[in-house]
Amino acid sequence: MSRWNVVTALLLALSLALVGCGNDKPSTSAAPGGSAAPHRATAEVDVATARKLIAEGALVIDVRMADEFADGHLPMARNIPHDEVGARAAEIEQAAGGKDRPVVLYCGSGPRASIARAALESAGFTAVVNGGGYRALRAP
């Protein structure tokens, strides 16, 4: 198993333990403020906040597998499976027009989007959020 696969597997296990598989409404956790470090958006947001970011022009990435994406997705979403996000960070940066544009990630219920968020933050993206699950984000 490659080093990247081991790291991905560990991050997935940790994310599943912390986030839970069936939660379509991730908890809100604010980034620390008041420091000289670059501003980071909240890591996980409620559905209303994710929808607002999308309406304001955030890049939207569905991190589910291609077959899940084919079964239904948000109309403006690009499909980049969670395990490819780190390797495709340059492509995402180009699509976003830079690393500071808000990026909303979503999957089936949140854990894979959390893994993808960590990969993008490691690549220097500063406004990445886990929007949670597809069912919660799609129009009621």
Beta strands per DSSP E along 81-140: 103-107, 128-133
Q: Structure tokens of 53?
A: 């970011």
Q: Is the pLDDT of residue 32 over 90?
A: no
So what's the pLDDT on residue 39? 41
Distance CA 33, CA 133 (A): 27
DSSP 109: S
Distance CA 119, CA 10 (A): 13
111 or 14, greater pLDDT: 111
pLDDT in tens, 81-122: 999 999 999 999 999 999 999 999 999 998 999 999 999 999
pTM (predicted TM-score):
0.71
State the CATH class of domain 3-30+39-137. alpha beta
Q: Could you tell me the residue ranges of all domains in the chain?
A: 3-30+39-137
